[in-house]
Amino acid sequence: MEVKINNSTLSLVEGDITKEETDAIVNAANSRLAGGGGVDGAIHHAGGPSIIEECRKIGGCPTGQAVITTAGNLRAKYVIHTVGPVYQGGTKGEATLLRSTHVESLKLASSKKLKSVAFPAISTGVYGYPVDEAAHIALTTVIDYLKEHADIELVSFVLFGRKTYEIFAEELRKIT
Ligand code: ADP
């Protein structure tokens, strides 16, 4: 599924983000940037050890913020590591933090003059964010950013599994 936001494209695909050829892929990292399971593990596994070495030098990243490294053996040029909130019922500022992961990731991409960025469904795995709520926040945040920043030409959400894809598609249809 694809929509135009001014001159930019917002696209939803089902797939594995480690295979993306966008300028940057976003990693749902933990605050120690230590690698882990889920999409984080998949990115480090596919990208090779240079990414974790750069992460070690950076040291860490607070929840809601983002840092950037090169992308080792991946097709993307950069990995933007951002730390989503752990879902605790929705009353602990999770929405603000999840919005911030998307804004901060896109700001980093803009500052590096990147044209295309791929996001996974941040916080919806072990961090437990309900996918429909996370999709609403992720999509509205990216749409608002693209409306104001024409420099990013393509944002893709690369969603792991049909179910997550369908929920994102449903939210995008509601919004647009
Ligand atoms: P978090 O800790 O932020 O919840 P997870 O990695 O556990 O991060 O999950 C985030 C999302 O990434 C989940 O929807 C999960 O299914 C998805 N995911 C896992 N592996 C991949 C992959 N290779 N490509 C894209 N998405 C992935």
Q: pLDDT tens across 55-81, in order? A: 999 999 999 999 999 999 999 999 999
Distances, alpha carbon 9 to alpha carbons 102, 147, 159, in Å: 16, 11, 17
Dist CA 67 CA 115 (whole Å): 17
Neighbours of 57 (CB within 10 A): 8
Q: Can you give the pTM of this predicted structure?
A: 0.98
- The number of distinct structural domains making up the chain is 1
pLDDT given for residue 125 in this prediction: 98
122 lines ligand 1 (CB under 6 A): yes
pLDDT given for residue 138 in this prediction: 99
Judge residue 21's burial from the number of C-beta atoms within 10 Å of its C-beta, 0-12 exposed, 13-18 middle, 19 or more buried.
exposed
pLDDT given for residue 10 in this prediction: 98
Q: Which residues are catalytic?
A: 40
Q: 2: which 2 tokens?
A: 């694809």
64 lines ligand 1 (CB under 6 A): no
pLDDT given for residue 108 in this prediction: 98
pLDDT digits (tens, 9 = 90+) for 85-120: 999 999 999 999 999 999 999 999 999 999 999 999
pLDDT given for residue 143 in this prediction: 98
Whose tokens are 């990292």? That residue is 29
CATH number (domain holding residue 14): 3.40.220.10
Show the domain range for 88.
2-175
- In the predicted model, what is the mean pLDDT of the chain? 98
Residue 141 binned pLDDT confidence (cut-offs 50, 70, 90): very high
Atom of ligand 1 nearest to the CA of 36: 6
The closest alpha carbon to 73, from 119, 25, 137, 106, belongs to 25
- The fraction of the chain above a pLDDT of 90, given in percent, is 100
Dist CA 122 CA 85 (whole Å): 9
69 Rama class: left (phi>0) / alpha (psi -120 to 50) / beta: beta
Tell how far the Cα of 19 is from the centroid of ligand 1, in angstroms.
14
